[in-house]
Amino acid sequence: MIKKIIRIIIFPIKVTTVGLYNLCLILSKGFYFYFYLFFSFLSKIFNLKVFKKIKLFFKKLQYSPSSILLIIIIFIGYILFMKYGYVNNSNEIIYIDDTKDGEEVEVIQDSQISDDNKMILNLYKKYGSYKVSNIDINELKKINSDTIGWLVVDGTNINYPVLKTNDNSFYLTHDFNKNYSIGGWIFMDYRNSSIMDNKNTVIYGHNLINKTAFGSLSSLFTDKWFNNSNHKIIIYTLDGNYTFEIFSVYYKEPESYYLNTNFSSDNDYLVFLKSLKSRSIYDFNIKLNSDDRIITLSTCTDNNKGRKVVHAKLIR
C-alpha cells in the first residue's frame, strides 16, 4: 500500500522531469544550431583552428539541456528583478526653482503613488514612488516614531523618509517598519539635531545595486547630472522645509573627518568647509562662510571599499 502511494506521488514528478528534460533538449538543439552553423561557415572560409574548436563547442552544447535551462533561469530572474526590484532612473525627481522670492518651491515627480495592490518587494520602491505633495510627516511618525523628515535629491531616485535613533547601527540593517533588512534605511547621524540646527547634518544610506536607498547617488558623479541638475537637496520636516545647494561631491577612503558635527571655533569650521570644497570633482562655484549650515550625504562606493560623499549648504 505504501509503495503504491509513493509511486503515485513520484509518477507526476518523473513525468514532469522527463518532459522538462526533453523540452530543454529540443531548445538547446535549435538555439545552439545557429551558432554551430555560423562558426562552421567561418571555419570553411578562414580555415582557422579557433573557429573549428568553437564550432565543436556549440555542437556539444546542442546536446546539453542543462545549459539552456540555466539561460532560462537567468532570463526569468532578470525579468523579475527588473519588474519588482529595479528602480529606473527615468523616474527621477525634478526640482523646479523658477519661482520668485517668497514663493514656495514645488517638487514634482513623474510617477504617481504606487497601487497598494501591486507587488512590492521592498519599502524603498513603495516610498520612492510617493509625490512630495502627498507627504504627511505626522502620519509617517505613526508608522515609525523615529521619522524626522523626508529627503529629496534632485536628479536621483532619492525620495524617502529619514529616520533617527540613538545610534548609527540599527538602521543599517532595519527598514522603515523596523524589520530586519540588508537594505537598511535612510537615517540621520544620532549626534545631529532633528531640527537641523547643527553646523553639519549627516545622513547615511546604503549604495544598493537596484538604485534604491542611496544607490542613485551615483548620478551626482556624472557630467550629465552636473550640467542639467539644479543641484538641490530638500528636507521636509515638521518644523519647516530646508533647501540646500550642493557644493561638493567626491570619492574618499573611509574616514571620520567629513562626519564632524561640532567645531571648537568658527575658524576651525571654515577650514573644514574649505577642505570639503577642495575635494570636489566638480567646481560648483559656491561661496562658503562660517555661518553656513551644511548637509552631508554618505554612502559606500560600488566596490564597498570607499565612500561617495555629497555636501550641500543651506540656502533657504
Q: Where are the domains of the chain?
A: 2-84, 91-314
**Fold assignment, 91-314:** Sortase; Chain: A; (2.40.260)
Whether the pLDDT of residue 283 is over 80: the answer is yes
Give the pLDDT of residue 6.
Answer: 63
Give the pLDDT of residue 91.
Answer: 36
Q: What is the pTM of this model?
A: 0.67
Report residue 247 as a C-alpha cell. Answer: 557644493
Q: pLDDT (tens digit, 9 = 90+) per residue, 195-227?
A: 889 999 999 999 988 889 999 999 999 999 999
Q: pLDDT (tens digit, 9 = 90+) per residue, 133-188?
A: 888 999 999 999 999 999 999 999 999 999 999 999 999 999 999 999 888 999 99
Give the pLDDT of residue 125.
Answer: 85
Least confident of 93-102, 126-135, 238-247: 93-102
